[in-house]
């Protein structure tokens, strides 16, 4: 994971609608950047829906919410439509941002070791500095946990 106080690495990826999105275009705004492993899996769906349900709270605070996984734009588009997701989902099949943010790591499942995305959320401040890191987050409580943090 990248440490708090570090300049957030910039990247440009396509969203679920094929639009090019660059992190630095949100300079002056707080950004919640969450990394997840795969569209339409139980945990990732819970997490996305939790962000959807909390989205008004983020909008009121003028906070940008961005989800990133290695899925394709097409998969993201179907996922966003199926669950009516109101925020940006970025496709990172080349693992550009995923590796820059150090969330591509060894994972163990039933004794088998594989490489994959470790569910992590970064809060990036208005100056592009990592303000807070939430590691190994719980999908159903992550969005609310972040809103509570932002209330402080």
Catalytic residue numbers, as ranges: 44
**Residue 65, beta-bridge partner list:** 32
Q: Which two tokens stand for residue 86?
A: 């109101």
Closest to 32 in 3D by CA, of 96, 57, 105:
57
- Taking the C-alpha atoms of residue 52 and residue 84, their distance in angstroms, rounded to an integer, is 8
């Amino acid at each position: 994971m990248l440490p708090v106080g570090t300049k957030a690495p910039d990247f440009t990826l396509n969203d679920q609608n094929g639009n090019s999105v660059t992190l630095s275009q949100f300079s002056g705004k707080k950004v919640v950047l969450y990394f997840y492993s795969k569209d339409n899996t139980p945990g990732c769906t819970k997490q996305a829906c939790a962000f959807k349900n909390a989205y008004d709270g983020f909008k009121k605070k003028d906070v940008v919410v961005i989800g990133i996984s290695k899925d394709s734009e097409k998969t993201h588009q179907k996922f966003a439509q199926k669950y009516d997701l109101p925020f940006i989902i970025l496709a990172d099949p080349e693992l550009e941002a995923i590796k820059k943010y150090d969330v591509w790591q060894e994972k163990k499942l039933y004794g088998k070791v594989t490489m994959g995305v470790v569910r992590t959320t970064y809060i990036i401040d208005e100056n592009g500095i990592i303000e807070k890191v939430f590691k190994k987050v719980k999908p159903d409580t992550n969005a609310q946990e972040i809103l509570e943090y932002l209330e402080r």
